[in-house]
Amino acid sequence: MSLLVISAHAGDFVWRAAGAIALATSRGERAVVLCLTYGERGESAGAWRAGKTLEEIKAMRHEEASRAAATLGAEIEFCDAGDYPLRETPELLDRMVRLFREVEPTVVLTHPLADPYNDDHPTAARMALRARVLAQAIGYDAPGEPLGAPPVFFFEPHQPEQCDFKPDVLLDITAVFDVKRKAMECLPAQQHMWDYYTDLATRRGVQVKRNAGPNLGLAHSTMGEAYMRLYPQVTDVLA
């Protein structure tokens, strides 16, 4: 089992998917995060106001995201593709294809395909899906074997109602929420997000319990993350 997370900016994977990442690594699975940008222009307002230079901000966000990934037990790579706007290039897409082939993920996490507040997020998602398809092509010139068909899950955006996000997967992250919180606290550049995503995990935890039913005996303080599946589930048992 291996998990590949495609994150537009340096903090996105922490707010939206740190629970899933921590659960995977706690089971001994490999988790790899690809940050396409540092979020240096659009998601580092405090650093700009403090008079930091572009390169100083990039270095700061690199260090923050690296510490967060280490806290979660994940590997992390950075593309420094430039944010606001993030633009697809053949070189960036090829790098993503090669990473798909190298990691051979059994699960892929990325942004939803709609976000009227931040076009970098759907741009990252579209590239992730294109790279997945290209990595499946036997004739694509990249090392490794053609990719299988790993399921893709969209993690929850900041404003789900405006992003056509309707969760059909609720993940119980109670056992690792303390790890997620520690990872969030590695990102002081966006400290305003810490409590927001703690509160969101609490609300999603209520929905986890509601949808699981009383027989599972879930903890009163259940914490959750929400996901939306892109491709149909293939199964021989309905559950």
Q: What is the pLDDT of residue 114?
A: 98
Q: Which domain holds residue 138?
A: 2-229
User: Is 239 inside any structural domain?
Assistant: no
Instruction: Choose the weakest-confidence range: 116-125, 147-156, 197-206, 215-224.
Output: 215-224
Each residue's pLDDT tens digit, 13-43: 999 999 999 999 999 999 999 999 999 999 9
Q: How far apart are CA 142 and CA 148, in angstroms?
A: 15
How many structural domains compose the chain?
Answer: 1
What CATH number is associated with residue 104? 3.40.50.10320
Q: What is the pLDDT of residue 128?
A: 98
User: Is 52 inside any structural domain?
Assistant: yes
Which residue has 């990691």 as its token pair?
A: 103
Within 10 A of 130 (CB to CB), how many other CB atoms are there? 14
Among positive and negative, which fits the CA dihedral 160, 161, 166, 172? positive
Shortest CA distance to 44 belongs to which of 195, 157, 191, 194? Answer: 191
Q: What is the pLDDT of residue 220?
A: 67
What is the residue-averaged pLDDT of the chain?
96
Q: Is 165 left (phi over 0), alpha (psi -120 to 50) or beta?
A: beta
User: Is 48 inside any structural domain?
Assistant: yes
User: Is 237 inside any structural domain?
Assistant: no
Each residue's pLDDT tens digit, 157-213: 999 999 999 999 999 999 999 999 999 999 998 999 999 999 999 999 999 999 987
Q: How far apart are CA 202 and CA 60, in angstroms?
A: 30
Q: How far apart are CA 158 and CA 200, in angstroms?
A: 10
Q: What is the pLDDT of residue 126?
A: 98
